């Protein structure tokens, strides 16, 4: 048996400001740092030794991971992968979600944020918020940099990376992935076999480790949030 731990980064500055963040490289708030440290203690209480760590390329994810590792007294290196990045929100990037909901209606914004195949209008390549103009992506091949994504687009890159790079390591030891609301939603859809129509209802809380126990055949035995007070409905477990 092995353990897969998925954690959405702690609260970020743009989470606090209720802005669409996507691929913009935003750091944690003080609350986000506290959430990450609490996550580390929750994992520590499980007496689980992590063999492999993964993070997206984005600061808020690997800052969360470093804070967790500090609690675990584990300074081993971890793999950063663009495939685990947050969904790219296209032309919505940087916009305030509350203001947009007042303009378009709450149901429409919820649909844009959570639906399976709806893609936002593309972000102009000249925008300073476009990944082409953000330093951490300067070595990423341009064909891998989107102008905007649906959850389906995010799902395809996340699942491909999981199947090609992460899954094999679950047969060796425990794995922890620090990523984002939508990249974790995408992986949960795959692992928990969540229907496309239901995925709109899946919400991933910040800084709350999701512990998935897996058999030797990588079949799920159990799945639960370690902080039950902040747990969200997983729809199937």
The three-state secondary structure class of 31 is: helix
- The number of distinct structural domains making up the chain is 1
pLDDT digits (tens, 9 = 90+) for 12-24: 999 999 999 999 9
How far is it, in rounded angstroms, from Cα 174 to Cα 146? 31
Do the domain assignments include residue 237? no
User: Which helix (H) or strand (E) segment is 179 a member of?
Assistant: strand 174-179
pLDDT digits (tens, 9 = 90+) for 87-117: 999 999 999 999 988 887 888 777 877 789 9
Q: Does pTM surpass 0.75?
A: yes
Do the domain assignments include residue 40? no
Q: Token digits for 203?
A: 């919400």
196 noted as active-site residue: no
86 noted as active-site residue: yes
Give pLDDT, residue 34: 98
Burial class (CB in 10 A: 0-12, 13-18, 19+), 83: buried
How far is it, in rounded angstroms, from Cα 213 to Cα 195? 21
Do the domain assignments include residue 194? yes
Residue range of the domain that includes 197? 2-35+46-210+220-230
Neighbours of 60 (CB within 10 A): 31
Instruction: Compute the C-alpha angle 167/169/172, nearest 5°.
Output: 130
Tell me the CATH number at 114.
3.40.50.1240
Do the domain assignments include residue 215? no
The catalytic position among 9, 62, 88, 180 is 9
pLDDT digits (tens, 9 = 90+) for 138-169: 999 999 999 999 999 999 999 999 999 999 99
Do the domain assignments include residue 8? yes
The catalytic position among 35, 62, 63, 86 is 86
8 Å CB contact between 84 and 36: no
pLDDT digits (tens, 9 = 90+) for 42-60: 999 999 999 999 999 999 9
Give pLDDT, residue 236: 66
């Amino acid at each position: 048996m092995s353990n897969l731990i998925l954690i959405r980064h702690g609260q970020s500055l743009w989470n606090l400001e209720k802005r669409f963040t996507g691929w913009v490289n935003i750091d944690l708030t003080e609350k986000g740092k506290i959430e990450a440290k609490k996550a580390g203690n929750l994992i520590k209480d499980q007496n689980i030794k992590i063999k492999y760590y993964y993070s997206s390329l984005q600061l808020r994810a690997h800052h969360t991971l470093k804070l967790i590792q500090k609690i675990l007294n584990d300074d081993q290196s971890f793999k950063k992968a663009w495939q685990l990045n947050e969904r790219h929100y296209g032309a919505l990037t940087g916009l305030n979600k509350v203001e947009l909901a007042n303009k378009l209606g709450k149901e429409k914004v919820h649909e844009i944020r959570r639906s399976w195949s709806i893609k936002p209008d593309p972000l102009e390549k000249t925008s300073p918020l476009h990944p082409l103009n953000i330093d951490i992506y300067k070595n990423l091949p341009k064909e891998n940099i989107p102008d905007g994504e649906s959850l389906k687009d995010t799902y395809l890159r996340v699942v491909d990376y999981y199947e090609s790079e992460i899954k094999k390591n679950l047969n060796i030891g425990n794995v922890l992935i620090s990523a984002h609301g939508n990249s974790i939603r995408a992986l949960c859809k795959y692992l928990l076999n969540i229907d496309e129509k239901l995925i709109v209802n899946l919400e991933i809380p910040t800084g709350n480790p999701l512990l998935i126990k897996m058999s030797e055949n990588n079949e799920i035995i159990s799945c639960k949030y370690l902080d039950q007070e902040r747990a969200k409905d997983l729809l199937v477990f």
